[in-house]
Structure 1
Amino acid sequence: MKIDGHYDAEADIAWLRFEGYEPSSVVAEEVPTGLRELDPATGSTVGLEYWTASATLPPDLLRMLRPPQLGTAA
């Protein structure tokens, strides 16, 4: 499985996108840790957004995630 991700340390938000992620069609639902993004056709989770990521995710994972690019949507 391919996983793409970003971490904005200043905002303390991490984004993880999985195979099949299509930003124009995902349906987001709020969960206790942030957002879960679903493929509407299959109901599969294709993305996760973690708010207060440093309190939820392991520091080693956050260090592996690159910062988001300026001018592009997460």
Structure 2
Amino acid sequence: MARDTTQMFEAVAREHLFVETLETRNRDALDFTEVSVWGIRAALEAAFEAGRRAGNAPRDPAQIAEG
């Protein structure tokens, strides 16, 4: 997964789901959390909007050639 995508996921998780990290920490108290449905909705909307903005952003021709 691209670094920019990972950073966006982590930012959305922190801001809307109040999750410190998306890394597995192998402790139930740290790896599982309760989230309100409105928090989930806000996180999904933020991720969707970030994807929409990224899709509309001008791209570097070198990146297009790389795939």
Q: Give the TM-score of the pair, scaled to structure 2.
A: 0.24
| Higher-Rg member (1/2) | 2
Normalized per residue, which structure has more strand?
1
Q: Give the TM-score of the pair, scaled to structure 1.
A: 0.23
